Amino acid sequence: MTIGYNSGMLINVAVPEFSLSDTNAQIHSLVDYLGRVVVLNFWSAECPWSERADRSLAALQVHYSGRVAILPVASNLNESGAMIQTALDQRSLAFALRDEACALADLFGAQTTPHAFVIDQNGILRYQGAVDDVTFRKRTAERFYVQEALLAVLDGHYPQVQETPAYGCAIVREV
């Protein structure tokens, strides 16, 4: 067990139960997703890194339909409901969970958008960090960490890489 890069969560330990409403006023609880791998992705309407990650994560959602749930979490206090909905529509996303007081971001120690957490079928955290290895200076991905973690977990293994530093825009906790 190790504490991750900027994360408040322990790898290979059960994630605490949580519930948030989404942009369609539906309540989502972690327990609702037991039996599926969950990618909890701290998300932003205005961050270009988050928008880029959405394309990759949407492809995973389609490819692993029924076995994986991608849950975008909107924690930025400076993003209005209208701004979030516009971004969701533009990116063809059905919803985002509303973390209006940053409570879930604080619980997970999420620092950026995107910041991904892969939770296995039994609610155990198996990966946390960047979606892939793209940075400002490295524009082409060579590693897709979330996909690697998903494949390992779906095959019943621990991911080879369990933690990486998240990379993107800072989560706005004050306005």
Residue 55 burial class via C-beta count within 10 angstroms: exposed 0-12, middle 13-18, buried 19 and up: exposed
Which helix H or strand E contains 25, and what residues bound it?
A: none
Query: What is the per-residue DSSP string for 56-89?
Result: HHHHHHHHTBTTEEEEEEE--TT--HHHHHHHHH
**Tens place of pLDDT per residue across the chain (175 aa):** 333 454 678 999 999 999 999 999 999 999 999 999 999 999 999 999 999 999 999 999 899 989 999 999 999 999 999 999 999 999 999 999 999 999 999 999 999 999 999 999 999 999 999 999 988 887 788 899 999 999 999 999 999 999 999 999 999 999 8
Among 93, 95, 115, 82, residue whose Cα is nearest residue 28: 95
pTM of structure = 0.93
Distance of alpha carbon 81 from alpha carbon 96, whole angstroms: 10
Assigned CATH topology for domain 19-170: Glutaredoxin (3.40.30)
